Chains A and B, each alone.
Chain A
Amino acid sequence: MAEKKQLSKRLRRKRLGRRLSNVYAILVYAFIYIPIAIMILFSFNSQKHNYYFEHFTTEWYVKLFTQSDLWGYLVNSLIVAIVATAISIVIGVLGAMGLKRFEFKLKQVINNSLYIPIVIPEVVLGISLLMLFEIAHFPLGLGAMILAHATFCIPFVVIIMRGRMAGMDMSIEEASQDLGANRITTFFRITLPLLVPGIMSSAFMSFTLSIDDVIISNFVSGPYSTTLPIKILSMVKVGLKPDVNAMTTVMVAVLVLGLLLNSVVQALWKKRASTNIKTYF
């Protein structure tokens, strides 16, 4: 009898713990989303410059979809962010593996150099990359921006991947190779799937760093490569208009809806799959 009571106490504590952690998570999310909520609210502001909330209007959305050039800048930002992230992931994941397992002459130097893009103030990195491109006669523009963004994203990828790979049991790789798979097959079928959560974290991190980068982008941008953050920063000088809010609201809405849609679709697939299996048997 006493054992049963203890068990349910444990269960109760577990349930309470779970509820508390759910509440905590919701609080943190709410905290992160408060600025977003305000931003969305002010996208409906009739005032031209968003000093305080005047009254409700959807005119900015109309403007956004009819005569705005903001979309072009968004596309630029996306191109740079996606490509830079792709490059950073490939180089960063491979790099983390190499730096972890192998010893070579310049290892310590490379290891330490990873911290430099993280700590160095963006102005310094921006100016020095600009000079590098100038000396190499590399044209400024989206290409230069992608290279610059990858430069500060790669260290983040490496650090996150190292955390993921730390203490990873390599015997499973050895086992795979003992069973006849070559190095490349082992990498793709054994190692990589184990690294996926780390890759996901790194990809999100890189994308985030790139899509909102202002200072470095400003320095290495060219005549055709204005990104959204650059445009927004320059608008700040003359008063930020609510159409920027409208655009970011649309972005957030699209992304959140996308996530929800994905969940719904997956739930439906699951149902389908289970019914299929049933008919199979």
Chain B
Amino acid sequence: MSDGKVTLAAGGRRAGIRGKMPIFATAGPVSFWMMIFVLLPLIYVFVISFMTRTQYGGIEYSLTLDNYKEMFDPLYLKVIWKSLKLAFFTTVICLVVGYPLAYWIASKPSKLAAKLLMLVMIPYWTSSLVRLFSINLLVMPNGLLNAFLMKLHIISEPLDILYSDGVVMLGLLVAMLPFSVLPLYSSIEKMDKSLIEASKDLGANSVTTFRKVTIPQTMPGIVGCTLLVFIPSLGMYYVPEMLGGGKVMLVGTLIKNQFLVTKNWPFGASLAILLILITLAMMWLYTRIGKLDDLEVC
């Protein structure tokens, strides 16, 4: 069976440039784009991570490893660890909440599914800032939620949930849900539903079917979801800041501070490089553990 991989030796029907044309046409644009708009800026960031901050917040071209040494201060490691934890929990919750919804949408005829997906996305085409403000307004002591609950006599005093961890988690879930539903839908839709029927016919109950048929079949989507929620969550800070009352320090805020407040771009750059290295390391681990090279999703 064809595995979809074409190497030049085996697949190039025509020799020379014409044989390489498919590569240029398909992988060419993206490689070109990444090299110019991602790798070039990255090189810049990498270079300044070895520089020093001048007195007035500029960059002095004197090579040093100080920035990287500073990073290993327990203070900063704590911040990074906190961000990793938060990203992890957000990812798990988004996966658990998003999967059933993606499944449900994928079970609908494609035109309806398109509309349902759009319905999921429409709130995200409005300003995230206004949405976050709205959440805060909801949980203020004199906000709608408390007014509602008090009127129904469920509580006698306003709930103290403003800026609580629970609200932050909910806010993150709301913010990242599309990032999980979209890749999951894309992969679930492709699944051959008859396999499920077959499994059930062979005597497996729903749980086993789910575990042994559905999940492996939709694994690429699950991987996609995990990547697209975990990685952005690492560098994100505005949701926890706004919903957490500003009393939180995550690596995203830390880096932002370096660039905007402290004007210590070299240190900020080294932290950014660290984030990238962590991400790449996780990807590497992920592919090794899950043997996901075979799935070609990473």
A residues sitting closer than 8 Å to B (CB atoms) are 21-22, 24-25, 28-29, 31-36, 38-39, 41-42, 50-53, 90-92, 94-95, 97-104, 106-107, 109-125, 127-129, 131-132, 147-148, 150-151, 154, 156, 158-171, 174, 183, 196-198, 200-202, 204-205, 207-208, 211-212, 214, 228-229, 232-233, 236, 240, 244-245, 248, 251-252, 255-256, 259, 262-263, 266
Contacts and interface: CB of A to CB of B under 8 A. Distances in A.
A256 B101 CA distance: 19
B27 A201 contact: no
Given A110-B30, A115-B283, A131 B41 contact: yes
B6 A101 contact: yes
Contacts of B221: 163
A115 B280 contact: yes
B223 interface: yes
A170 B4 contact: yes
A53 B144 CA distance: 9
A201 to B, nearest CB: 4
Given A99-B30, A171-B1, A245 B130 contact: yes
A32 B127 CA distance: 14
A91 B283 CA distance: 23
The A interface, classified by DSSP as helix, strand, loop or mixed, is: helix
Interface string B265-298: 1001100100110011001000000000001111
Interface of B: 1-8, 22-23, 25-31, 33-42, 44-45, 97, 100-101, 103-105, 110-115, 117-135, 137-138, 140, 142-144, 174, 177-179, 182-183, 185-187, 189-190, 220-221, 223-224, 227-228, 231-232, 234-235, 237, 251-252, 255-256, 259-260, 265, 268-269, 272, 275-276, 279-280, 283, 295-298
30 contacts: A24-B101, A28-B97, A34-B135, A35-B131, A35-B132, A35-B135, A36-B126, A38-B134, A38-B135, A39-B130, A94-B25, A98-B30, A100-B5, A101-B4, A102-B7, A113-B35, A121-B235, A127-B259, A151-B33, A161-B186, A164-B186, A165-B4, A165-B296, A171-B1, A197-B185, A201-B183, A211-B125, A212-B128, A232-B129, A263-B115
B127 A229 contact: yes
Contacts of A183: 22
A232 B114 CA distance: 29
A239 B22 CA distance: 54
B172 to A, nearest CB: 13
A120 B37 CA distance: 13
Nearest to B278: A119
A102 B26 contact: yes
Query: Among the interface residues A104, A118, A124, A165, which one has the most CB atoms of the partner chain B within 10 A?
Result: A124
Contact of A124 (B132, B174, B255): B255
B224 A252 contact: no
Given A98-B26, A160-B182, A174-B2, A115 B125 contact: no
A90 B33 CA distance: 12
Contacts of B224: 159-160, 162-163
A21 B104 contact: yes
Contact of B38 (A22, A28, A113): A113
The B interface, classified by DSSP as helix, strand, loop or mixed, is: helix
Nearest to A262: B115
Given A25-B101, A113-B42, A164-B187, 20 more contacts: A28-B101, A35-B135, A36-B123, A38-B137, A42-B137, A50-B137, A95-B27, A99-B27, A100-B5, A102-B26, A113-B39, A115-B276, A121-B252, A128-B41, A132-B37, A148-B37, A159-B228, A162-B224, A198-B186, A252-B126
A84 to B, nearest CB: 12
A115 B237 CA distance: 18
Contacts of B26: 94-95, 97-98, 101-102
A102 B137 contact: no
A156 B41 contact: no
B127 A120 contact: no
Nearest to A101: B6
A240 B223 contact: no
Query: Among the interface residues A21, A100, A116, A251, which one has the most CB atoms of the partner chain B within 10 A?
Result: A116
Nearest to B2: A170
Contacts of B111: 266
A138 to B, nearest CB: 11
